[in-house]
């Protein structure tokens, strides 16, 4: 016995099963990502002044990814239209471009994530600050000197710090905290802080700094544990990336083995491409909100 | 068939509009609108316009069946409720801006 209304729409609602099903699913996905966006709102509103990062993410890769996803949205619509217009060749081409866009998006994401995993940040200890630390320095590790004494590592890091404008003391609301003299000293990396010293050498125009491990409150690469911003950034873009992969796998199936249905049952195939396209548009929609929130604000 | 063919150029026009709005998003982020909340609001407004273009035309919500609208009405209600309630955290005064 065949399931009714898989292709033919129900007379009362005007919808077939796939259309109704995908919209119900997308409605639930809105609440999934909505919950995470709400989490972002809480983290951002609760962050003390001067602690929420700004400028840690390079805008260009994010902008290119936005353009790539928007292009893939229009090509998936074109692929569906090609099926409705009985043009198999055009369908293959447009869906192929969509898949290339998906691969390009994941490639750029992989590049961005890799860049973060190799970026270092350290919080230096402070006896007077209530949080236990008062200075944050970011950059790249040049050397990691390990020196174990009594089970503790009392070595040091040699780091090439980020240029002053990218350092935490330039984050937008940190402006209020420093006098012009203090800011000028920080921009020259003259901290007068225990555990932080200049080696006298330079690396790409910035002085190489030596950070004593015993004076470091905590340190890590730019990964979720580093700060709340990276925690929510990796969570949301990671979940979004999983959705990109899932959607791409479905579209890839319809591009290769599943495309046979174009010839055996065209109306059903058109419905399936339409429904897969709807999921793909949703993935694009989430990114349209993620990009400004994470990269620009 | 012809109905679909006439739509093809329209889809590319929407794509062009989305491209323009994306560039506006980046450009507008460089301008200071007074407070951070203002910048946020303008950025989200532009994102909502882009999202509306994708939803209404690429996802064919413009001229969809009533049942879909009724389902999405619940989604919109609960999503807006979720964000409105989250924004109430502003009045917990844990921030200092």
Which of A12-21, A172-181, B83-92 is predicted with the least confidence, judged by mean pLDDT? A172-181
Distance of CA A266 to the CA centre of its chain: 38
Per-residue confidence (pLDDT) for residue B36, from 0 to 100 = 78
Given the structure tokens 């407070």, which residue do they identify?
B35
More confident residue, A103 or A169: A103
Per-residue confidence (pLDDT) for residue A48, from 0 to 100 = 78
Task: Find the mean pLDDT for residues A221-231.
Answer: 95
The domain spans of chain B are 1-63, 64-97
Please write down the HEC assignment for all residues of A176-224. HHCCHHHHHHHHCCCCCCCCEEEEEEEECCEEEEEEEHHHEEEEEECCC
Task: Find the mean pLDDT for residues A49-68.
Answer: 90
The ipTM is: 0.92
Per-residue confidence (pLDDT) for residue B90, from 0 to 100 = 84
DSSP bridge partners of A133: A125
Note whether B86 contacts A: Cβ–Cβ < 8 A: yes
Which of A11-20, A117-126, A180-189, A221-230 is predicted with the least confidence, judged by mean pLDDT? A180-189
Per-residue confidence (pLDDT) for residue A183, from 0 to 100 = 83
Q: Which tokens sit at B8? A: 């093809």
Cβ-contact A211, A195 below 8 angstroms: yes
Per-residue confidence (pLDDT) for residue B5, from 0 to 100 = 76
- Which among A232, A297, A225, A169 is positioned nearest to B41, based on CA atoms? A297
Cα A81–Cα A85–Cα A86 angle in degrees, nearest 5: 115
**Rounded to a whole number, what is the distance in Å from the CA of A86 to chain B's nearest CA?**
9
Percent of chain A with pLDDT over 90: 82
Per-residue confidence (pLDDT) for residue A47, from 0 to 100 = 84
Backbone angles phi, psi at A171, to 5 degrees: -60, 145
Per-residue confidence (pLDDT) for residue A31, from 0 to 100 = 96
**Rounded to a whole number, what is the distance in Å from the CA of B11 to chain A's nearest CA?**
7
Distance CA A205, CA A183 (A): 19
For CA atoms B68, B74, B78, B84, the dihedral sign is positive
Record: contact A84-B1, CB cut-off 8 A: yes
Per-residue confidence (pLDDT) for residue A165, from 0 to 100 = 84
Residue A2 DSSP class: P
| Most distant CA atoms of chain A, gap in Å | 82
More confident residue, A297 or A194: A194
- Which among A230, A251, A295, A268 is positioned nearest to A102, based on CA atoms? A251
| Chain B residues with CB-CB distance to A34 below 8 A | 78-79, 82-83
Note whether A297 contacts B: Cβ–Cβ < 8 A: yes
Record: contact B82-A46, CB cut-off 8 A: no
| pLDDT tens string A142-192 | 999 999 999 999 999 999 999 988 888 877 655 556 788 888 898 999 989
DSSP bridge partners of A152: A149
Note whether B54 contacts A: Cβ–Cβ < 8 A: yes
> Is pLDDT of A118 > 60?
yes
**Rounded to a whole number, what is the distance in Å from the CA of A275 to chain B's nearest CA?**
9
> Is pLDDT of A40 > 90?
yes
DSSP string, B59-87: S--TT--HHHHHHHHHHHHHHHHHHHHHH
Note whether B31 contacts A: Cβ–Cβ < 8 A: no
Note whether B47 contacts A: Cβ–Cβ < 8 A: yes
Per-residue confidence (pLDDT) for residue B44, from 0 to 100 = 93
| pLDDT tens string B34-82 | 877 888 899 999 999 999 999 999 999 999 999 999 999 999 999 999 9
Per-residue confidence (pLDDT) for residue B37, from 0 to 100 = 82
> Is pLDDT of B93 > 80?
no
Distance CA A24, CA A28 (A): 7
Residue B54 CB partners (closer than 8 Å, separation 6+)? A70, A73, A281, A284, A285, A288, B18
Q: Please name the member of B43, B82, B86 whose beta carbon is closest to the beta carbon of A297.
A: B43
> Is pLDDT of B97 > 80?
no
Task: Find the mean pLDDT for residues B7-18.
Answer: 94
- Which among A285, A282, A280, A286 is positioned nearest to A95, based on CA atoms? A280
For residue A134, the SS3 value is: strand
Per-residue confidence (pLDDT) for residue A137, from 0 to 100 = 94
Record: contact A45-B87, CB cut-off 8 A: yes
Count of A–B CB contacts within 8 Å? 134
Chain A window 7-36: which residues touch B at a Cβ cutoff of 8 Å? 13-15, 19-20, 23-24, 27, 30-31, 34-35
Residue B59 CB partners (closer than 8 Å, separation 6+)? A278, A281, A282
| Chain B residues with CB-CB distance to A81 below 8 A | 4, 7-8, 11
Cβ-contact A133, A124 below 8 angstroms: yes
Q: Please name the member of A37, A63, A78 whose beta carbon is closest to the beta carbon of B26.
A: A63
Half-sphere exposure of A228 (CA within 13 A, CB side): 13
């Amino acid at each position: 016995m065949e399931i009714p209304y898989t292709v033919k729409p129900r007379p009362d609602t005007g919808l077939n099963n796939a259309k109704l099903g995908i919209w119900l699913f997308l409605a639930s996905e809105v609440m999934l990502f909505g919950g995470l966006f709400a989490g972002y709102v809480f983290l951002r509103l609760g962050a003390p002044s001067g602690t929420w990062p700004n400028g840690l993410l390079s805008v260009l890769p994010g902008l290119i990814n936005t353009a790539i996803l928007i292009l893939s949205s229009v090509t998936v619509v074109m692929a569906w239209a090609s099926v409705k217009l009985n043009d198999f060749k055009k369908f293959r081409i447009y869906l192929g471009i969509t898949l290339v866009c998906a691969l390009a998006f994941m490639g750029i994401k992989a590049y961005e994530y890799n860049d973060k995993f190799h970026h270092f940040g350290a919080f230096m200890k402070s006896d007077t600050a209530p949080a236990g630390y008062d200075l944050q320095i970011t950059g790249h590790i040049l050397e990691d000197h390990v020196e174990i004494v009594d089970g503790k590592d009392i070595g040091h890091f040699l780091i090439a710090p980020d240029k002053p404008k990218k350092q935490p003391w330039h984050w937008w609301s940190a402006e209020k905290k420093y006098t012009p003299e203090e800011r000028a000293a920080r921009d020259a990396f003259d901290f007068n802080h225990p555990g932080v010293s200049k080696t006298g050498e330079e690396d790409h125009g910035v002085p190489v700094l030596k950070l004593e491990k015993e004076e470091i409150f905590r340190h890590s690469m730019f990964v979720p544990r580093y700060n709340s911003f990276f925690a929510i950034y990796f969570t949301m873009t990671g979940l979004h990336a999983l959705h990109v992969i899932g959607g791409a796998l479905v579209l890839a199936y319809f591009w290769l083995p599943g495309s046979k249905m174009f010839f055996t049952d065209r109306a059903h195939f058109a419905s399936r491409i339409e429904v897969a396209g709807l999921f793909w548009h949703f993935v694009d929609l989430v990114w349209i909100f993620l990009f400004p929130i994470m990269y620009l604000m | 068939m012809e109905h679909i063919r006439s739509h093809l150029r329209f889809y590319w026009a929407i794509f062009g509009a989305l491209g323009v709005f994306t560039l506006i998003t980046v450009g507008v982020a460089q301008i200071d609108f007074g407070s951070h909340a203002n910048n946020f609001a303008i950025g989200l407004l532009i994102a909502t316009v882009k999202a509306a273009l994708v939803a209404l035309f690429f996802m064919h919500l413009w001229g969809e069946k009533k049942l879909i609208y009724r389902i999405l009405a619940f989604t919109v209600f609960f999503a807006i409720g979720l964000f409105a309630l989250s924004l109430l955290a502003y009045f917990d005064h844990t921030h200092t801006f």
